[in-house]
């Protein structure tokens, strides 16, 4: 199964943009890149996903490198509610979601 | 829609006791999953189901059994609980979505979790 590499932790000041990186050098052509986040004491929630092109939604943007070996989740204006663990996951089927340990984002007021 | 619900929210067991965790979803999703999350760790897949009456092993299936008798329910059983099974258990579901070239796993919707302590 293709795996991802993320920094253990990052900090951001409130209302500033945050760029969360993810490396996935062994990604295959059929792998989608998903991002989930887990708020304290809650289950993970979907943030965004993409295949090849950059994606935007109301929560975030996803920038995918041209060779697809890395991607970046962009939170345009971090709020205190964005403090969570962010997981970058590759999916190409029903049973191969590997969450890893993710990046713990701390937002500083 | 209630989404994905889990019962119970908390449970304390003694070593050797058995219990069943219930996951229910009202979104008519085909796929359902059970994960466990240990402190400071990511989620690990225990078992999953691609449809009613079918189940399969995930990354860490030992010590657990599952059943999917109805499409909306996915049960996780511990026959003889051990302290190593102390964890937070999350259930998730996802619809089956076909794209060109194969099945695309859509967004997973997670339940709120069950915190299990085995003494």
Q: Give the closest-approach CA distance of A7 to chain B in angstroms.
A: 14
Predicted pLDDT at A99: 78
CB neighbour class for B25 (10 Å; exposed up to 12, middle 13-18, buried from 19)? buried
Confidence (pLDDT) at A18: 97
Chain B residues touching chain A at CB-CB below 8 Å? 4, 31, 33, 35, 40-45, 48, 50, 56, 58-59, 90, 92, 94, 101-105, 107-113
**For position A22, what pLDDT does the model report?**
96
Q: Check: CB of residue B6 under 8 Å from CB of residue B21.
A: yes
Each residue's pLDDT tens digit in chain A (109 positions)?
A: 558 999 999 999 999 999 999 999 988 888 889 999 999 889 999 999 998 999 999 989 999 999 999 999 999 999 999 999 999 988 766 566 677 789 999 999 9
What tens digit of pLDDT does each residue of B7-35 get?
999 999 999 999 999 999 999 999 999 99
Give the nearest partner residue to A30 out of B56, B92, B101, using CB atoms: B101
> What is the DSSP code (8-state) at residue A87?
E
Which residues, 6 or more positions from B39, have their beta carbon under 8 angstroms from its beta carbon? none
Residue B104 pLDDT greater than 80, yes or no: no
How far apart (Å, rounded) are the C-alpha atoms in residues B35 and A44? 11
What pLDDT sits at residue B59? Answer: 87
Contact A46 B109 (CB under 8 A): yes
In the prediction, which pLDDT does A2 show? 59
pLDDT, mean over chain B: 91
A90: nearest Cα among B51, B41, B104, B36: B104
Q: Do B45 and A97 touch (CB under 8 A)?
A: yes
For residues B61 and B46, is the Cβ–Cβ distance under 8 A? yes
pLDDT digits (tens, 9 = 90+) for A2-27: 589 999 999 999 999 999 999 999 88
Question: CA B48 to CA B4: how far, in whole Å?
Answer: 15
Cβ B103–A100 below 8 Å, yes or no? no
User: For the residues of A39-79, what is the DSSP string, one character each?
Assistant: -TTS--EEEEEESSS-EE-SS-EEEE-TTSSEEEEEESS--
Indicate yes or no: CB of A99 within 8 angstroms of CB of B43: yes
pLDDT for res A92: 65
Would you state the pLDDT for residue B95? 84
Q: Give the three-class secondary structure for B85.
A: helix
| Mean predicted confidence (pLDDT) in B51-55 | 93
Residues present in chain B in total: 119
Q: Which of B35, B41, B109 shows the shortest C-beta gap to A101? A: B41
A-chain CB neighbours of B40 within 8 Å are 101
Looking at residue B108, its pLDDT comes to 87
């Amino acid at each position: 199964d293709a795996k991802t590499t993320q920094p253990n932790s990052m900090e951001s000041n409130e209302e500033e943009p945050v760029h969360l990186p993810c490396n996935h050098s062994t990604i295959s052509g059929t792998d989608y890149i998903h991002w989930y986040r887990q708020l304290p004491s809650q289950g993970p929630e979907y943030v965004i996903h993409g295949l090849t092109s950059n994606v935007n939604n109301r929560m975030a943007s996803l920038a995918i490198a041209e060779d697809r070996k890395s991607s970046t989740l962009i939170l345009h204006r971090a709020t205190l509610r964005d403090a969570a663990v962010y997981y970058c996951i590759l999916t190409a089927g029903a049973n191969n979601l590997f969450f890893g340990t993710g990046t713990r984002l701390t937002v500083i007021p | 829609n209630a989404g994905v619900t889990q019962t119970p929210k908390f449970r304390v067991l003694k070593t050797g006791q058995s219990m069943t965790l219930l996951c229910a979803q009202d979104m008519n999703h085909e796929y359902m999953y059970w994960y466990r999350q240990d402190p400071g760790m990511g989620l690990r897949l225990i078992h999953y189901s691609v449809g009613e009456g079918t189940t399969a092993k995930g990354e860490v299936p030992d010590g657990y059994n599952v059943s999917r008798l109805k499409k909306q329910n996915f049960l996780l059983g511990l026959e003889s609980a051990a302290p190593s099974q102390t964890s937070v258990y999350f259930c998730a579901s996802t619809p089956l979505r076909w794209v060109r070239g194969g099945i695309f796993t859509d967004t997973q919707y997670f339940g709120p979790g069950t915190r299990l302590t085995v003494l």
